[in-house]
Amino acid sequence: MDGAIASVIVAATGVVGTLLSPVLAQRSMARVARTTAEAEQLGRREEREENVRISAFQEKRQVYAELNSLARVARNAMKDSVRYYHKKGEVTEGDMSLVTSARLAYQECYDNAQMILPDHILPLASRLNGSLAKGFHLIKSLATQGTPTPEEIRDHCEGPILQMVTEMRTAMRKDLGVSS
């Protein structure tokens, strides 16, 4: 009888195993499919995050380059107006127009950049903005009142403005990982 019971148990186990194997296989395949879908979703999320990071870096690099370039253009326009003053004895309307255009271009860029500049760059850009504004007002005063002296304006362009342009450029390059 022991042999008969054992045969029945073995047969029942075989039948249960045969019946359960498709169910177990299906559950295993569902688990593999779920794991694969989760891995693909994670990969897509990481790719989106990387694209956002790259886009933000490119935008920051573009703003940095534009700020640096327009600050230099404004500084050069001021220096040129002083040089022309020495030649002509006055700041002409054309000279003033060039200085104003350069100043406004920088100001517009600075206004837009304030929203994305990091906290350690924003104060530098703000001080440069103030220094450029002072230079602009000095030239405007020279054009309308004949004061201050052109040398004072030149010294402002070669001193505070140049110092701020250089300091801001160095900080922006470091932020971008271009220099140490």
Answer yes or no: is pLDDT of 173 > 90. Answer: yes
List, for residues 59-84, the tens digit of each pLDDT value: 999 999 999 999 999 999 999 999 98
List, for residues 15-46, the tens digit of each pLDDT value: 777 877 888 888 888 898 888 888 899 899 99
**Spatial CA neighbour of 67 closest among 23, 129, 143:** 129
Predicted confidence at residue 14, as pLDDT, reads 78
Predicted confidence at residue 180, as pLDDT, reads 60
Confidence class of residue 86 from pLDDT cuts 50, 70 and 90? confident
Q: Is the dihedral of CA 8, 9, 12, 17 positive or negative?
A: negative
Identify residue 26 by its one-letter amino acid code.
Answer: Q
Per domain, the residue ranges of the chain are: 56-176
Q: Do residues 156 and 135 lie in contact, with contact meaning Cβ atoms separated by under 8 Å? A: yes
Identify residue 3 by its one-letter amino acid code.
Answer: G
CB environment 5-37: b (16+ within 10 A), e (fewer)? eeeeeeeeeeeeeeeeeeeeeeeeeeeeeeeee
List, for residues 109-150, the tens digit of each pLDDT value: 999 999 999 999 999 999 999 999 999 999 999 988 988 989
Q: How far from 177 is each of 82, 151, 160, 172, 173, CA to CA, in Å?
A: 36, 38, 26, 9, 6
Give the integer Cα–Cα distance in Å for 143 and 70. Answer: 22
- pTM value? 0.76
Q: Do residues 75 and 154 lie in contact, with contact meaning Cβ atoms separated by under 8 Å? A: no
Does domain 56-176 correspond to CATH entry 1.20.120?
yes
List, for residues 105-118, the tens digit of each pLDDT value: 999 999 999 999 99
